Amino acid sequence: MHKEMIITIDGPAGAGKSTVSKMLAKKLSYIYLDTGSLYRALAYKGVKNKINFEDMEALNNLCSNISIVLKNSEGQMKVYVDGEDVGDKIRTEEIGLAASKISAYAVVRQRLLQLQREAGRNGGIVAEGRDMGSVVFPKADFKFYLDADIKERIKRRHKELLGKGNSSELLAIQKDMETRDNQDSKREIAPLKPTSSSIIIDSTKLSLQEVVDKIVRQMANK
């Protein structure tokens, strides 16, 4: 019986992290941890309560007065904000951008750190986000960094939004994605970047299954 490992998958929006992480977690019978949804959960409550994200006191209050609970069932991670299953409500571009914005603040990152580490306490987890390998699980057994050409990432996001029945314009997605790439990789605390031990995978020309196969091969070769 092999040890229950911690596997991290970081990378920019639209690189395929979520689907790949879910597929990998299922294959290994591991827990899937989508940390972006925690930032989205905070942003969701902030937007709902019309909080000004530049007002530090309001942001502090938001972080102190929110209950975020994670539940894993059959490979899906459910997020509850103050008892409400937020489901697809946090999957919009508006909430994604707001999540990216608030994620630059130390109080926000600190609020979510414990929750993430707690989820990985016993190992057996595939954790995806921006700082999984660099900050949250620096001792992870395997660290992957999934990247893709921005044009391809825009196309994928467009398809995903259309598939969910949302209206979607390529130009608007491009603008949002460039903003998010900038915010997520240029912030001072826990910026998006591969660590020195990350295995970088470019998924531009690969199917999601090919990415998973590549990850599994890399793990078997170690």
Binding site for ligand DC (CB under 6 A): 13, 35-36, 39-40, 96, 99-100, 103, 129-131, 180, 184
Q: Report the nearest approach of ligand DC to the CB of residue 121 (Å).
A: 17
Q: Report the nearest approach of ligand DC to the CB of residue 222 (Å).
A: 24
Q: How far apart are CA 18 and CA 12, in angstroms?
A: 11
Number of other CB atoms surrounding residue 8 within 10 Å? 28
Positions of E strands within the chain: 6-10, 31-34, 68-73, 76-81, 84-85, 125-129, 142-147, 199-202
Kindly tell me which of 35 and 203 has the beta carbon lying closer to ligand DC. Answer: 35
Contacts of 39 (CB under 8 A, 6+ apart): 99, 100, 102, 103, 108, 112
Kindly tell me which of 109 and 215 has the beta carbon lying closer to ligand DC. Answer: 109
Q: Report the nearest approach of ligand DC to the CB of residue 115 (Å).
A: 11
Q: How far apart are CA 180 and CA 100, in angstroms?
A: 6
Asked if 150 and 181 count as a contact pair (C-beta separation under 8 A), the reply is yes
Q: How far apart are CA 132 and CA 38, in angstroms?
A: 13
Kindly tell me which of 30 and 36 has the beta carbon lying closer to ligand DC. Answer: 36
Kindly tell me which of 17 and 212 has the beta carbon lying closer to ligand DC. Answer: 17
Q: Cα separations (Å) of 79 from 29, 39, 149, 181?
A: 20, 11, 30, 24
Kindly tell me which of 39 and 142 has the beta carbon lying closer to ligand DC. Answer: 39
> What's the number of CA atoms in the CB half-sphere (13 Å) around residue 198?
24
Q: How far apart are CA 77 and CA 171, in angstroms?
A: 31
Q: Report the nearest approach of ligand DC to the CB of residue 127 (Å).
A: 8
Q: Report the nearest approach of ligand DC to the CB of residue 215 (Å).
A: 18
Kindly tell me which of 1 and 36 has the beta carbon lying closer to ligand DC. Answer: 36
CA angle 215, 217, 218 (to 5 degrees): 65
Q: Report the nearest approach of ligand DC to the CB of residue 40 (Å).
A: 6
Q: Report the nearest approach of ligand DC to the CB of residue 85 (Å).
A: 17
Kindly tell me which of 100 and 203 has the beta carbon lying closer to ligand DC. Answer: 100
